[in-house]
Amino acid sequence: MKKIRFITQIAYNMNKVIAAKEAFERLNPGVQLVVEQMEDYFDIMNELKSGEAPDIIETGGFQINNPDGIFMDLNPFVSETENTEEDIFPGLLRVARSGGMLPGLPIEMSSPLVIFNKEMFDSAGIAYPTESWTWDDMIEIAKKLTIRDNQGIASQFGFSLGVDVEWFEPFVMRNGGRFVSPDGSTSRGEVDSPATIEAFQKIVDAFRLHCVIRRPGEPCHAQAGQDESAMNFSFVWDAMQKQNERYGIVGLPKMPGGKEANMIYMGGVGITNNSANPHLAWQFLRYYLLECHSWMPPISISQSKQRGLLEHPIWSRYLTELQHVELSAYYLSKKWNASRQLINEDIYKMINGQNVAHTLRSWTRFT
């Protein structure tokens, strides 16, 4: 019996992995899939150094450019397998192939969009946002949708955005800025560029000057179970609870830089260089990602059509956004990632009054 060893870091997806394993084994008598879960990528790296090497590894973060040298290039498998190249959303393959190599296929991917509460818009007599809206449009709408009492405490905010450098990044991208260079080697000339500083200043002003986004620790009178904000910066997992007629979806507002871009989170599944059965491992990997169904939007165009997702009021917009995705600093630079906590602490300070341009120029020390 041939054995394929599959290691996953994604705990919440285990039921889908087991279902794919059992179905694949029924279709391929004489093949056994051994599925194991690891706590994190560090444990996976340790496992590679001991005993029997796994054939397939699934990680929560896509390994762009194969930085640890553990994955095979899947480009030959993709090109040799009929209809595979054509069936994967082109934007996903574009970013996954950064540098030329394809170390894995994406999984569990999402870019942020804006989910808005139609009832709040209707109550205020405000038209719903459209794909042509700008950052300034968003701010003006958010001002009208922010409701405060006589003491200045809000019961409703116009916009919701978490304080995280990665969540600020799509607005930087759309303004023509970046955090690090395309090869991830430096942040000089990128994070301190006029385009990046301008975008960051606009976001900080939304918290500090316009007061349309809830500041960290700011009190709010919103009732439990009630939407706190009329518009929400939302990934796929945020949208799961908002699939009804109360909500609409729209792309991120256009920035002055005029670039159509967005960041993407994605995990990855790849075949290790030490796999004893790489072709069989590819058969399972392809079956798992392109034929089995996931609760997240699939990477397969054909599966999206089969499930009616290309016409779905929410999922269709997330899938359309895949054509505009770019790699964030998260994937391009380990040095940048190592400084994330310090960077986020600086963002809190900027929201509370620290100079934006000076702070961003100081970030060049991180990469």
Question: Domain ranges in the chain?
Answer: 2-110+264-324, 113-257+340-366
Q: For the chain, how far is it from start to end, CA to CA, in angstroms?
A: 49
- Give yes or no for a contact between 175 and 191, defined as CB atoms under 8 angstroms apart: no
Relative to beta strand 154-160, strand 2-8 is unpaired
**What's the sign of the alpha-carbon dihedral 83, 88, 94, 98?**
negative
Q: Which of 9-13, 190-194, 199-203 has the lowest mean pLDDT?
A: 9-13
> Rounded to whole angstroms, how far apart are CA atoms 56 and 119?
47
**Mean pLDDT value across the chain:** 93
Q: Which CATH class is domain 2-110+264-324?
A: alpha beta
Residue 206 has pLDDT above 70, yes or no: yes
Percent of the chain with pLDDT over 70: 98
Secondary structure (3-state) at 104: coil
pTM of the model: 0.93
Quick one: average pLDDT of 31-41? Answer: 87
Q: Is the pLDDT of residue 225 over 70?
A: no
Strands laid side by side in the 247-250 sheet: 147-148, 154-160, 229-234, 113-117, 247-250
CA distance linking residue 152 with residue 147, whole number of Å: 9
pLDDT > 80? residue 139:
yes
Q: Report how far residue 211's alpha carbon sits from residue 37's, in angstroms, rounded to the nearest whole number.
A: 44
Q: Do domains 2-110+264-324 and 113-257+340-366 have the same CATH topology?
A: yes
The pLDDT of residue 160: 97
Strand residues in the chain grouped as ranges (E) = 2-8, 31-37, 56-59, 105-110, 113-117, 147-148, 154-160, 229-234, 247-250, 265-271
Model confidence at 28, pLDDT cuts 50, 70, 90, reads very high
* DSSP string over 195-239: HHHHHHHHHHHHHHTS--BPPTT--B-PPTTS-SEEEEEE-HHHH
Query: Is residue 295's pLDDT more than 70?
Result: no
Question: At residue 294, does pLDDT exceed 70?
Answer: no
- State the CATH architecture for 113-257+340-366: 3-Layer(aba) Sandwich (3.40)
Helices 14-27/278-286 angle, 10° precision: 120
Is 88 within 8 Å of 294 (Cβ atoms)?
no
Cα–Cα distance for residue pair 29/86, rounded to 1 Å: 29
Highest mean pLDDT among 47-51, 181-185, 209-213, 292-296: 209-213
